[in-house]
Chain A
């Protein structure tokens, strides 16, 4: 499978006050060949009680389509500022997106979960297609999505 790799280093709002220690985490998302246009993907984190904490990455540049990532949209009210500086291109079917983010150590093994909402033009929305708990032991384990995401894993 031909894939492109987008390696990006970025800092997000998830560096919590007083939690100075952070580590680099690489998120690898491989899409399956769902037979549609490029997918919009929203990467964000919720806490132990399921509340939205912050966004890591938005693949897809046109904010008018953000409403189709409906869980993310519901949590953020579609606010562009939530993803300001952490947006990139949408991801084509069959392609792989690789991003690197700095995450606070305290995020891990503390009930936080990483969500990915996916949406494709003229196809069904797929909110929270991926929901994985962020744990040190879960790093490197691949998780399959419901519809658009063939495989997702994070590694430290």
Chain B
């Protein structure tokens, strides 16, 4: 719902908002320029002093005005000709022309009325209202995406367009709210919808009838500092009944020209003061620094207007259509989907197709539409739920838990819950788990136990499908092919072979970086912005499922590199190991944000064996900031499978790698990487105490050995690997 409220005003008002924001940003510069250019009055100078100086220069002076910037302007009549100038308050002499600049005036008219007068003012006000709706709904969306208001500035993941959109939005939203609210107020004021009209002092019943009282002798002018002045209007020459009108920050008064007495005074109303403050906040006149800040924030609007539609288009493509969906009231099986990016819909479709093939009537719907009364014929419910952020409901499941809690009674037809997630995130399937727990607590009968699918694994899904089929008394083979990201052909540019002598043929394969289009860069598709630790999906010939390899390079390196070891009978590794430079494979990138080195300066302890050294070498290669890095590398024999041997010594020389500790498993005294860790226990414990992050890559057995060794090393300090994991300081990429 919030997303809809955010999307449509955004798409409809996009051009208008960009126009208003750009003109507003340009206008924000003028108050600051005026402030810098205007000669300022000394703090002790009184209006009496200023008026006397000006009257000496221009005997026909009619009006003296002070702008919030401190600029003093005098208007006079000289031999029937009107004149005006900006005045230096210290001398009373003219220093510049008083007419407003053409550019500023043009921009102002564009900004507030698009050169369409009142119609344009209303259009601009509608734009401000749209901006306000966008800002408020956007804040709710950011809070939801980040997992709460307290995580407002938490790091972002995902495609470039989305990251830019949120990054800019959370910096600029305060200014956009202020500017749009003040704009609406000012429009209301312009159209006389607010009781903020100026108060006028009462006309005096009588005046002294004399003229020529010296300005310097008027008490009220002597008591008013120039900084409080707004306007001082002089009486008409020769009209003894006329008066001085003085407007200050404290109100407006009439002064007798014959004796300098204040005849009447009117203070501004609360509404008037409020409108003045709002005018200042919107225009920056009198608050030029704030004006510049607001102008900068307004510059975020074009960025938001460009990235928003890209995000919308990318999300639209993610959700597949549903054909052959049975009506809700007649379906025996109801599949409810909680999906954020759209991939869970793909699983739902596979499940629905398989169930229909088995003769079932199936209704598939988003979890948001959950209402048990609609499903009169349901024999079973199946919930497929992803998780958003830190355990939140994904977009198509919003409000489901509330609705479940508000039911008088849980449905009688049994329920199966399947969670979709990624184990490299701390809140793996947290939302699906919460749903399963809530359903159990409400007494909803269970069809089969709660289960999960990790990283869209077809194997996990097929296994769950068999259990579901068994419970339903039918054979259910779910052959799900996750919608593959578009693959591109990678061409091998070079290979370095190792390990043949130790019966572990291994190669460092380097591919040329394919071209990345702007659209891919914006939507985070293709080979845009990958880094070491991300995964390279390779689709071997004759297979429909990809195999994943940890990347040993990032996009900035200008090539795509992986380390591959030949597995006996392995389809994919066999094809890769047979690849010659110039030949190609079909491949795509899958983000693996849980296994990135990150940008913080904390030390790194990298631990890997065999091909697992690939991404670790990538981290070291990317360590141009010379963050402290220790690398523990397990191999079979240094003469055979010491991968990246030359690079490591270069990187050490360049300061990108502090320590390289190797462990050799072949030889008289087999030595594994966990043994190397134990031997360096003091170093390791010391680095961890200083906040180091541990990153482990390699086989499952090695990872277990490393975890045990770390447990021993950390025990004296009262730490455990589990505690580090909980803080995100101990991550594994294990295969």
Q: Residues of A with Cβ closer than 8 Å to B?
A: 35-38, 61-64, 67, 70, 74, 78, 89, 122-126, 146-147
Contacts and interface: CB of A to CB of B under 8 A. Distances in A.
B63 interface: yes
B100 A122 contact: yes
Nearest to B104: A122
B200 A36 contact: no
Contacts of B200: 67, 78
A62 B192 contact: yes
14 contacts: A35-B100, A36-B99, A36-B100, A36-B105, A62-B191, A63-B192, A64-B197, A67-B198, A122-B105, A124-B62, A125-B63, A126-B82, A146-B80, A147-B82
Interface residues of B, number: 25
B496 to A, nearest CB: 73
B190 interface: yes
B100 A89 contact: no
A124 B118 CA distance: 23
A36 B80 CA distance: 22
A85 B178 CA distance: 38
Given A64-B192, A124-B84, A35 B99 contact: yes
| A-B interface, 6 closest residue pairs, ranked by CB to CB distance from nearest | A124-B75, A147-B82, A122-B100, A146-B82, A64-B197, A124-B84
B82 A62 contact: no
A64 B444 CA distance: 66
Contacts of A78: 200
A124 B63 contact: yes
B109 interface: yes
B102 interface: yes
Interface string B236-262: 000000000000000000000000000
A64 B190 contact: yes
A37 B63 contact: no
A106 B2 CA distance: 69
B429 to A, nearest CB: 61
B708 interface: no
B117 interface: yes
A125 B231 CA distance: 12
A62 B190 contact: yes
B701 to A, nearest CB: 79
Interface string B579-596: 000000000000000000
B690 to A, nearest CB: 62
Most B CB contacts (10 A, CB to CB) among A62, A124, A125 go to A124
Interface string B113-136: 000011000000000000000000
B82 A123 contact: no
Contacts of B62: 124
Nearest to B118: A61
A61 to B, nearest CB: 8
A125 B64 CA distance: 12
A123 B190 contact: no
Interface string B42-78: 0000000000000000000011000000000001010
Nearest to A89: B117
A35 B99 CA distance: 8
Contact of A37 (B109, B118, B192, B197): B109
B680 to A, nearest CB: 74
Given A64-B192, A78-B200, 19 more contacts: A35-B102, A36-B105, A37-B109, A62-B190, A62-B191, A62-B192, A64-B189, A64-B190, A67-B198, A67-B200, A89-B117, A123-B99, A123-B100, A124-B63, A124-B82, A124-B84, A124-B98, A146-B81, A147-B82
Contacts of B118: 61
Contacts of B109: 37
Contacts of A89: 117
A67 B80 CA distance: 24
A107 to B, nearest CB: 25
Contacts of B198: 64, 67
